[in-house]
A and B are shown apart, each in its own frame.
Chain A
Amino acid sequence: MLTQAEARRALAGGIVALTLVIAITALPVLALLAFASRFPENSGFDAYTFSLLRFTLLQAVLSTLLSILIAIPVTLALCRRPHFPGRLWIIRLMAVPMGLPVLAGALGLITVFGRQGIVNQALLALGLEQPLSIYGLTGILIAHVFFNFPLACRLMIAVLEGLPQEYWRLGASLGMRSWSIFRFIELPALLRAIPGAAGLIFMLCATSFTLVLVLGGGPAATTLEVAIYQSLRLDFDPARAIAMALLQILVTACILALLSRLPANDPMNMGEGRRISRMDGQSWPARIWDTGVIMCACLFLSLPLLAIAWAGLRSNFLEIVTSAIFLQALSTSLAIAMLSAFACVLLALVIAFARQVVAERRAPPRSARIFSASLGSLSSLVLLVPPVVLGTGWFLILREIGEVSRFSIPIIIVINMLMALPFVMRVLQPALQSHRARTARLVASLGITGFSRWRIVDWRVLGQPLAMAFSFAMALSLGDLGAVAMFGSQDLVTLPWLLYSSLGSYRSHDADSLALILGLICLGLTLIGTAEREMRP
């Protein structure tokens, strides 16, 4: 148990964090509303808005379902085969789509699934006439699954690997078959990760913009996010933009609320935290199935990435990576990513600790429970606030204070921090929860508190989830263009900005090199997140 003072401090931290998150998201909306009141004419919702809403939700629901359904067998297979050759690298590879600017990923996917892509060439060679068309709902789904199933896998693998060794031993000694193991061990664990992962993926897909437009094939495939962008940029109708943003937040939040009612039975895992060694799944059919599943997932994941790598290597790679502007962009991007990842992990820790304190109370008062719940939901709903609204709102606020370009780097860091928060929370919250469940009583009885508790007990266990969370946040920030585009000035160049800028100046080969570099950096980042796994025997 925490000491009284520690608990008070953790709660106070939670209140500060909550205020901060609300301020960062609500202030710009208010600023924009105040500004909009100067423009009396504005059009409300119409049938078109609702058709957009329908499509937005349809593609997001389908994308989420597919991503999760594909991630489940892959996760199970990867967890059942701890000695699968290259397993660690497969898991690392799963972090790469996250840090790729979506356009770079989309071009990679097109190289594989496009009209002239590898898949269609193969189909033609096999004598099939009708090539697969990636443009339309199919393309949107393929792209969303490509970007999101690895995320779901990583979150689920983390939960499965966190299961205590005894479960598997017990399963083996009871002679449980695959189905029973799935039913009594794996499924309950997966169910703990699925609502969170699905919620995250749903939000990402519901607010998808570039992918939907590029692969959608036409304006029939348009999300609300596009309409919000249009209202704010092209039509300059801030009131309409905010109304649509609120509609998006409201409807999506309702769906997320439904999702959170899924049976997330939460067995506290008390174990020794040792590496899993599994005795099940030694039969040949199981081996063949797992190998097949892993190979398929690998192909689906790596072909587009290989296409990106190949295009990058074929271009003037060396020339690009030695140019002054690249080095400038690289250092700016890394600095922004590190600071925002650092800030994000810190914020997430504060929130997670505050929620933990509430959870550890025997009978938390109603107010405390509401506080904890709002911390939990707000920290994920931030993904639904369109970046264009955040950016424009903050622009209006900051220009009252001084020259906006001076604030561009801090505000980018803050926005990136906020955008990564839901991801980081998904990693840290469960880790902290099970860690506290294992150690809280022991630590309290030994009277270890404060910094020494952190050093002796917490760091050893939480170190790895912290590193993973940090690399998540950094990858997200590295691939983010949105915040930079809003505030960009002459001197501020980041890697995604340089990538888009190259594409915008006919230099698509330079863009290929930059996409490869971003991919490599993300792969490098996951080395931090998975380093400890390798050291174990």
Chain B
Amino acid sequence: MRKMNVFSLIATATVLLAATVHAEDKKTLTIYTYESFVSKWGPGPKVKAAFEKTCDCTVKFVAVADGVALLTRLKLEGASSPADIALGLDTSLFKEAKDTGLFAPHGIDAAGAKVPGDFKDDVFVPYDYGHFAVIYDTQTVKNPPKSLKDLVDGDPSQKIAIQDPRTSTPGLGLLLWVKAVYGDKAPEAWAKLKNRVLTVTPGWSEAYGLFTKGEVPLVFSYVTSPAYHMVEEKTDRYQAASFEEGHYIQVEVSGLLKGAKEKDLAQRFLSFTLSPAFQDIIPTTNWMMPAAATSQALPDAFSKLVKPQKTFLLSPEEVAQNRQAWVREWLTAMSIK
């Protein structure tokens, strides 16, 4: 009988834990996003407060690991997803997201959005962007690579940590960047770059952790990464290498779901993402560039960042069509002994 009591104890505890009370007096806007957006340091808490001030509603974030997981979640839930808005997809997931048929045209005036590479879409609204870049440690790297070709052909003993395109969006970004620059010669480029790669991590965090621990002098990240170190840590030790060919861009977008219960509210939120109230929050929380006008100038650190001369962005259709083949190509090139 003792065992039975213990069972019922667990059952009770579980029910107690599970019973989250919901106050249902206000409208609730459900936004699916990725984890670092809603973290304590991310834009989420401020965005929620700012929008709730204007809408007489409650903003509810549901966070999954990253943009890829976000899309998976939507596919799993299909048309009955409780989400009104998905925020945090990026340009490389774009076409696949559209093909699910789960998104509705946003129907808002998105003319305020200014993103390099002339991004226009009637389904997705950009809210920030960042160019990918190789970040280097100025204490150990005196002559950083000046171009992607330089990186590929350069000294193989100067190592870089990159991310796996199978599990990470920056990883996929580097894959597309190399493809955009090298085209059919990409496998040869990877075969060379391979000697310079210290390791390939499953996500951005692991690679960047290795970099800040001093284990590796170069890491694949964003042009905006040094801004974090300059603003929060008051150091300009870590800098982005400017590449002559230009930089590949990642545009982060949000979209309205067809099955949204609060369509009006969702549209108002999408418009809000292009307003200064939202855009002011982005640079120093998400550490990305704002996709529309901000009310005040960005912190000084941002003016010191590398300004890419040319922006690469393969069309979403091309990416969706070739992604699996390109990843396979990458696997083969990187696996040769």
Contact = CB atoms under 8 A, between A and B. Distances in A.
Contact of B324 (A235, A407, A488, A505): A235
Contacts of A103: 205-206, 209
Nearest to B40: A325
Given A135-B198, A490-B60, A233 B18 contact: no
A220 interface: yes
A489 B62 contact: yes
A507 B75 contact: no
B325 to A, nearest CB: 12
A218 B200 contact: yes
B202 A213 contact: yes
B76 A392 contact: yes
Given A500-B205, A508-B209, A410 B18 contact: yes
Nearest to B228: A506
B201 A214 contact: yes
A35 B215 CA distance: 43
A492 to B, nearest CB: 9
A346 interface: yes
B210 interface: yes
Contact of A406 (B7, B20, B41, B76): B20
Contact of B18 (A217, A226, A407, A506): A407
Nearest to B285: A505
Contacts of A396: 76
A111 B287 CA distance: 28
Interface stretch (B65-73, B106-114, B265-273): B65-73
A356 interface: no
A485 B65 CA distance: 6
B232 A506 contact: yes
Contacts of B205: 103, 500, 503-504
A234 B203 CA distance: 13
Interface in B17-51: 17-20, 35-36, 38-42, 44
Interface in A104-133: 106-107, 110-111, 114-117
Contacts of B75: 236
B35 A501 contact: yes
A342 B205 CA distance: 33
A342 B214 CA distance: 41
B166 A234 contact: yes
Given A110-B210, A505-B39, A395 B18 contact: no
Nearest to B328: A48
Interface in A386-435: 392, 395-396, 399, 403, 405-407, 409-410, 413
Interface stretch (B146-154, B246-254, B307-315, B329-337): B329-337
Nearest to A210: B202
Given A218-B197, A346-B6, A506-B232, A209 B39 contact: no
29 contacts: A106-B206, A107-B210, A110-B210, A114-B215, A115-B215, A116-B215, A214-B206, A214-B210, A215-B199, A219-B164, A219-B200, A220-B337, A235-B324, A392-B76, A399-B77, A403-B82, A405-B20, A405-B62, A407-B18, A409-B17, A488-B64, A489-B62, A490-B38, A490-B60, A501-B35, A503-B205, A504-B36, A504-B203, A505-B42
Interface of A: 13, 35, 48, 103, 106-107, 110-111, 114-117, 135, 209-210, 213-220, 226, 229-230, 232-236, 325, 335, 339, 342-343, 346, 350, 392, 395-396, 399, 403, 405-407, 409-410, 413, 451, 454, 485, 488-491, 500-501, 503-508, 511
